[in-house]
Each structure stands twice: as structure tokens, then as C-alpha cells.
Amino acid sequence: MMLQVLLWLMFLLLVSGCATEQAVSFQSDIDPILHDKCQRCHVPPDGIGYVRTGLSMESYDTLMKGTMFGTVIVPGDSKRSVINKLIEGRAGDVMRMPHGEAKQLSAEEIEYFKLWVDQGALNN
Amino acid sequence: MDKCFKKIPVSNVRNRYLTGFLCPVILFGSSFTSSTLLAEQPPDIAQYTLQREKTSEFVSSTLQSGKRPEIEISEHSGDYQIKVVALIAAPASYVRDVLTDYTHIYRLNPSIIESEVLKQEDDGSVNVRTKVVGCAAYFCEELERVEKVRQLPSGDLQAEIIPALSQFKSGKTTWHIKPVGDYCEVTYVSDMEPDVYIPPVVGKFLIKKSIREEMQISFTNLEKISSVLAAREWQEKHVPANHQTVSKPHHMEQASNIE
């Protein structure tokens, strides 16, 4: 009986370990996306997205600072983060980021952003 | 089942906001953390304020400096009545611009997790869909609604919920914006009845508390965004182009080109 309980506990531990979500790194996962898909517009001094909103995606610090209207990331909460709303198209298609002819984020990249924010939007 | 409250993940607890029908101030369904409320003004706003103080009677900032709006909330048989009166440190026209900038309505409150302009009617009214997430204690609920919003001849804004497309039995909201010098007084009056099951454990006290907190967030953000837009326009008129720190007012730009 005791052995059975132990085996079940080991099984549960194994399953919970497998279910642990992937840790997303800002440096290796998010920054390359920003560089590839966002910095075309969101860089000072002349990037159109920077000029219009004040949002620079040049670095972790500037990203966390947000726009002149407020922050764009709520660490730990992708649902309420502006950046997630916009790249996921939750603020309507007209507001979906990136705008215009820029390369769109793939479903995988959008998921990375979601996980990164939900994991606390760390500078890791 | 989907009308039951869901327990939110632990990772989200520290950034939880109370909203949804819990946040009727979110008129049309908008990102700011609570720390934003107490954050320092960006340099451009500070500069604007400084310049204005030199040129006119300009009393100190209101909501952004921590002053709370007057908020009254009552409930009768599931019907919530809310009245908010606040002095906003921005001209009335900018406040009205922000409230009618439906594509950016998500900026007013982080709890507006989805927003979309559905259609513009010939009479000038606009149907706007929003989904808001509201939490009281550890219970959260996502509520969707479609509102028909129109500007009255008086300049007031009126929004009426379309029950067939919403998780509300009914709802009507009016925004009255009265100029007060360089500022304006905004009076928000709302009466709405959510069509969701609220577990007794949540309690009316918690719901009212959450409404109050969300009102504070939304009105502070309304003031912040309005004052930034006013600052941009002021700067454009008074500061040489090579010295400007902000750009054209966003309402003069294409919606698709701005965040």
C-alpha cells in the first residue's frame, strides 16, 4: 500500500514537472523579435512609432518605460498588457501591431510574448 | 458554467484589477498599472505644465497628483448606479477626443482586454464592442458588451448597451464634460445591470470597492492621456520643430498609424 502511494506521488511529480511551461528569455527570445519586427518603427529619434507614441523598443528599459501615455506591459499579466493586446489583435485589426507592410509576428512569436509577460517580463 | 467565476492563476494575482461590470466607467470597453497612477509626469507634460503656469492661471494637477474623484455607487436588485464627478487637468475638447477615440479606448484601463469598433451609423453613432475582465477578491469574470455611442447636441456623450450582444440586461451611461478654465469637470452617470451570476461570497461590498478602484484608474488615465495630447499640440504651436519632444496630436493622425 505504501509503495503504491509512493509510486503515485512519483508519477504526479513527474507529470507536474513535464507540465512546467517553457521559460522565456528576454535576451534570446524576445529581443530578436523586437529587433526583427518592431524596431523598424519604434526607435529614436526618427522611427515613426517612436515619434508618435514615445515608445522605444531599443532596450528592455525603454520597453518597460512604455509610451508617453503609460506603460505597455503589466508584468505577470499578458491579458491586461497593451503590447499583448496589440500584437494579438485584441484591440481590433486596425490596431494590430506591427502596422503597415511590416512583417507580422508568427503565432509562435505571439505566444513567446505572452509567456514572457506572464512569467513577469523579466530582463533575463 | 462559463458564467461562473474563475479563479485566476497565482502568477496573475499581484497584477489583478477589478473591473468589467465591476468597472462601468469603462464606457466602451482600455494599459496602466496602478503604479502609473502615482508615477511622475513625463517630461513633456511637466514642461507643458510649467509653461502654462507662466502664461495663465493654471491650478495644480488633479487626479494624477493623487486627488480622488467623487464616486457614488449604489445597488438595487443587481442594478448598479454609479456617479463620478472629477476635475480633469486638461481642456474639455481633449477629454472628449480621448473618450471618442474608440480605436484607442483600451488605453483608458488595463482591464479592457479586447476592444473593437463594429460600425458607424449614418446618424453618427458608433457601435463599440469591448471585453473587460473584472475581479473581486480572488474571483474574476470576463464580460463582453456592445454599446451604441453617440454625441448629443449638448456635447455630452451617451452610450447604451445592446443587451442582445452583451452580457448585460441593460445599461446606459452619460458623460457630461463642462469646461472649467483650462480644465474641465467630467460627470459620469451610469446605470447598468450585468447578466451574470455573482457568487454570494463575492459580496456587494467587494464589487462596490472594485468599481471605485477602477473608476479611479480610468479617470486618472483619462486625465493623463488628455493632458499629453494637449501638451503635444501646445508644443507644436509654441516650440520650434527642432526643439519639440513630442509629435502631432494623435487625433490628427490616421488611427492605423498609431499605437
The DSSP annotation for B70-138 comes to EEEEEEETTEEEEEEEEEESS-HHHHHHHHT-GGGGGGG-TTEEEEEEEEE-TTS-EEEEEEEEEEETT
ipTM above 0.95, yes or no: no
Asked whether the beta carbons of B98 and B180 are under 8 A apart, the reply is no
Q: What is the pLDDT of residue B61?
A: 53
CB contact under 8 A, A95 and B42: no
Which of chain A's residues have a Cβ under 8 Å away from the Cβ of B133?
Answer: 79-80
Q: What is the pLDDT of residue B51?
A: 43
* Angle between helical axes of B203-238 and B43-55 (0-180°, round to 10): 70
Asked whether the beta carbons of B48 and B180 are under 8 A apart, the reply is no
pLDDT over 70 at B56, yes or no: no
DSSP letter at B193?
E
pLDDT over 80 at B219, yes or no: yes
Q: What is the pLDDT of residue B136?
A: 84
pLDDT over 70 at A16, yes or no: no
Task: Identify whether A17 is part of a domain.
Answer: no
More confident residue, B167 or B46: B167
CB contact under 8 A, B31 and A72: yes
Beta bridge partners of B130: B115, B145
Tell me phi and psi for residue B126, to 5 degrees. Answer: -130, 135
Which of chain A's residues have a Cβ under 8 Å away from the Cβ of B36?
Answer: 70-71
DSSP letter at A67?
B
Percentage of chain B modeled with pLDDT above 90: 51
pLDDT over 50 at B24, yes or no: no
pLDDT over 50 at B112, yes or no: yes
Which of chain B's residues have a Cβ under 8 Å away from the Cβ of A54?
Answer: 42, 246
Q: Which three cell numbers stand for residue B225?
A: 492621456
Q: What is the pLDDT of residue B65?
A: 66
- Picking from B208, B250, B231, B226, the residue whose alpha carbon sits closest to that of residue B43 is B231
Q: Which residues contact A88 (CB under 8 A, 6 or more apart)?
A: A110, A114
- Picking from A84, A98, A116, A112, the residue whose alpha carbon sits closest to that of residue A49 is A98
CB contact under 8 A, B257 and A54: no
pTM over 0.90: no
Task: Identify whether A56 is part of a domain.
Answer: yes
Q: pLDDT tens digit string along A44-75?
A: 999 999 999 999 999 999 999 999 999 999 99
| Residues of A engaging B, defined by a Cβ cutoff of 8 Å | 48-49, 51-55, 66-77, 79-82, 85-86, 90-92, 94-95, 97, 99-100, 118-120
The whole-chain average pLDDT of chain B stands at 75
CA distance A23 to A68: 30
pLDDT over 50 at A41, yes or no: yes
Q: What is the pLDDT of residue B149?
A: 97
Among partner residues A52, A74, A86, which is closest to B33 by beta-carbon distance? A74
Among partner residues B14, B106, B247, which is closest to A91 by beta-carbon distance? B106
Mean pLDDT calculated for residue range B165-190:
96
Asked whether the beta carbons of B246 and A68 are under 8 A apart, the reply is yes
CA distance B155 to B39: 31
* A71 C-beta neighbours (distance < 10 Å), count: 22
Q: What is the pLDDT of residue B217?
A: 94
CB contact under 8 A, B228 and A119: no
CA distance B171 to B72: 17
Among partner residues A75, A79, A118, which is closest to B133 by beta-carbon distance? A79
Which of chain B's residues have a Cβ under 8 Å away from the Cβ of A73?
Answer: 31
Tell me the three state secondary structure of residue B8.
Answer: coil
Query: In whole angstroms, how far apart are CA B193 and each of A66, A68, B163?
Result: 35, 35, 10
Task: Identify whether A63 is part of a domain.
Answer: yes
The amino acid occupying position B205 is F
Domain B6-242 has CATH 3.40.50.80: no
Handedness of CA B196, B202, B207, B213 (dihedral sign): negative
CA distance B62 to B69: 9
Asked whether the beta carbons of B190 and B218 are under 8 A apart, the reply is no
- Picking from A121, A31, A27, the residue whose alpha carbon sits closest to that of residue A74 is A121
Going by DSSP bridges, is the β-strand pair B157-161/B79-88 parallel, antiparallel, or unpaired? Answer: unpaired
Q: pLDDT tens digit string along B222-238?
A: 999 999 999 988 888 88
- Overall number of domains in chain A: 1
Mean pLDDT calculated for residue range B34-49:
38
Provide the domain limits for residue A56.
Answer: 23-118
